[in-house]
Amino acid sequence: MYMKNELPQFSKIRTEQIEPQIRQILAQNQRQVTELLQQPTFTWDNLMRPLEDQDDVLSKAWSPISHLHSVMESEGLRQVYRNCLPLITEYYTELAQNEKLYAAVKSIADSPAYADFDAAQKKVIEDEIRDFRLAGIHLPADKKARFAELEQQLTEWTTKFSENLLDATQGWYLHITNRAQLAGLPEQTIKLAEENAAQHKKTGWVLTLEYPCYSSAMKFLHDRELRRVMYEAYVTRASDQGPRAGKWDNTPVMKNILRARHEMAQLVGFKNFAEYSLATKMAKHPDKVLKFLHDLLKKSRPVAEKEIAELKQFALETGGLREMQTWDMMYYSEKLRQSKFNFSQEKLRAYFPAQKVIDGMFALVKKIFGLTLKEEKNIDTWHPQVQFFVLYDEQGEFRGGLYTDLYARPHKRDGAWMDEYQSRRRLKDGKIQYPIAYLTCNFMRPLDNKPALLTHEDVETLFHEFGHCLHHLVTKVDYAPVSGINGVPWDAVEFPSQFMENWCWEKETLAMISSHYQTGETLPENLYQQLIATRQFQAALQMLRQLEFAIFDFRIHLEFHPDHSAQIENILQEVRQQTNLMDVPTFNRFQHSFAHIFAGSYCAGYYSYKWAEVLSCDAFEKFKEHGTFDPTSGRSFLQNILEAGGVKDPLVAFVAFRGREPQVDALLRQSGLM
Ligand SMILES: [Zn+2]
């Protein structure tokens, strides 16, 4: 069963109608809660179900707006978003602090009927009760009000953080009039720069800070001074440093965010925000997180030291560089990779036209999970490059829908992510509402009448986000709060996504996802061998970088003290002494663009990537043991992990799949650390 008429009509969204519509839904929902609470007794059907229904109405109205705000920003939309977000935050805080509602939910948990609830229903109730506590349900009125006020401030500042970052990214570019200066850049990037110039109504070339352009410049531009200029502009975005110093400065915003989180955590009885954050995660205790990260650090650092020594030596020998700087690292790393393995990501692009990769990826999930995806045309979307796919299972049952939006463009937020339009749930009449997800990337767009060509890194990113989408789409849970990615502890969320990445390193998969855009040839054996040989190239350095982000994030939330000044900078300095093998320039303000933790949900949770990678590497080894496409392991992963939503404890789910608890060794092996 397929629900074309249920899809959001993006072309019909009128900016001026958004706020009135959201206000109306909020008012209606509030009225309904009041009415519901007048009932004498409470049951699943007379309270939990209507609450889920009304939440569904709101999230389906808001999701397209917040999605457009991320991928098609305009001044009008930014204003409307700014107007609506406080209303929505207030609405949710009121619900979470509503004592009558809490008592009503609690009465269901204490009723005899509870024993007969299924596991999903019990988990919904359990999570609700936990979240009431985390929103300060037990606090006196003045403290409740303070908590709500902080929640509002946090909403405002995290939004401001993103706005500053987007403005700073778009607010700088480099106009080049002499083609010789672009020496080293791949043809595709030159073409991109040419089109950028046309968009800016200039002749020549324009280099921007959008990631495909920036990263290509840093890897390939021979002109060292240009690299320095671009590096400085990039790492000082939204800060007090660099070419636009102070214009979109996130310095006060970051401090305000940390202060608000800290005070909120303390209000509801935690020592700090890190502990508050762990209340809903697998890793329960801060010591456990820090020990995990530092163990990895101890194992990676000696290997990384060798990697950096090799790189410096190479830069000296080939570039006469006595002192390597941070803006030389990507450039010489790329050169070293080419010289050691005769390999370049750019060379691979020709073999990975985006559509072929998508088709191959779908063929893969057909093999391992029995899932089928088909494109639907003539869907109302927000951009001509957006595609829409429908998902069916092995029995031919419809399971969900997926939008993909793959290419970088102005007014689109940086990075790659998935988000949801709606979640699976069973409606009152017994019918299923099927889940729908958005998959967003920022790859280099199709240029020069060629198809879009991806690097292998892009392919990995696509598999990663597709893993998140599958997790949301194949769920069999019938209650929205714990179906798909909902209710999954944050440090387990990256498990299915990182798990999927593994396949794009398998020879059999590469044969399915590659096809030279001119000759149709799949990735040749020699290129495959080179690709595999580079898999562990600078793996320890990359590990160190991720550990730097993770330890920094965790420590600023764990150690935050409102009276300490420059704490963010100081902690970052301390962490870098452990994780950094190069002197970072004093102007570097990487933290000012660390949107994952200042504007996203990875706060005191960035460690989740490594945490979940232990699960994903170990889970994948089961396929190495039983065969890459082993259908039995595939179906077991589908049932135990992907379909389970947020109902089962992730550790229990893992054991059900693997037959034992996770071991860190698989991750160490994959990173060449043992
Ligand atoms: Zn992810």
Ligand 1 centroid to Cα of residue 498, in Å, is 7
User: CA-to-CA distance for 670 and 673, rounded, in angstroms?
Assistant: 8
* pLDDT attached to residue 345: 84
Ligand 1 centroid to Cα of residue 36, in Å, is 38
Ligand 1 centroid to Cα of residue 493, in Å, is 7
Q: Which residue has the tokens 């993103």?
A: 162
Ligand 1 centroid to Cα of residue 439, in Å, is 11
- The superfamily CATH assigns to domain 354-487 is Collagenase (Catalytic Domain) (3.40.390.10)
Beta bridge partners of 314: none
Domain boundaries, the chain: 4-96+98-134, 172-235, 272-342+538-603, 354-487
* pLDDT attached to residue 2: 57
* pLDDT attached to residue 448: 82
User: CA-to-CA distance for 368 and 463, rounded, in angstroms?
Assistant: 14
Class of domain 4-96+98-134: mainly alpha
* pLDDT attached to residue 232: 98
* pLDDT attached to residue 6: 85
Ligand 1 centroid to Cα of residue 466, in Å, is 9
CB 452 within 8 A of CB 353: yes
pTM score, whole prediction: 0.94
User: CA-to-CA distance for 490 and 283, rounded, in angstroms?
Assistant: 10
Ligand 1 centroid to Cα of residue 98, in Å, is 33
Ligand 1 centroid to Cα of residue 445, in Å, is 22
Low-confidence spans in the chain with pLDDT less than 70 = 1-3
Ligand 1 centroid to Cα of residue 596, in Å, is 11
User: CA-to-CA distance for 219 and 140, rounded, in angstroms?
Assistant: 56
Among the options 465, 494, 548, 613, which is catalytic? 465
* pLDDT attached to residue 33: 98
* pLDDT attached to residue 377: 94
Ligand 1 centroid to Cα of residue 650, in Å, is 16
Ligand 1 centroid to Cα of residue 468, in Å, is 7
Ligand 1 centroid to Cα of residue 486, in Å, is 14
Residue ranges near ligand 1 (ion) with Cβ within 5 Å: 494, 497
Long-range contacts of 618-622 (CB under 8 A, 24+ apart): 618/658, 618/662, 618/663, 618/665, 618/666, 618/667, 619/495, 619/499, 619/654, 619/657, 619/658, 619/662, 620/499, 620/502, 620/666, 621/666, 622/657, 622/658
In the numeric block, which tokens belong to residue 674? Answer: 């043992």
What does the H/E/C string look like for 544-594?
Answer: HHHHHHHHHHHHHHHHCCCCCCCHHHHHHHHHHHHHCCCCCCCCCCHHHHC
Is 465 a known active-site residue? yes
User: CA-to-CA distance for 507 and 510, rounded, in angstroms?
Assistant: 5
Ligand 1 centroid to Cα of residue 461, in Å, is 9
Ligand 1 centroid to Cα of residue 417, in Å, is 7
For Cα atoms 178, 443, 192, give the angle at the middle one, nearest 5 degrees. Answer: 20
DSSP string, 128-155: HHHHHHHTTTTS-HHHHHHHHHHHHHHH
Ligand 1 centroid to Cα of residue 238, in Å, is 24
Q: For residue 164, which of 257, 296, 57 has the smallest C-alpha distance?
A: 257
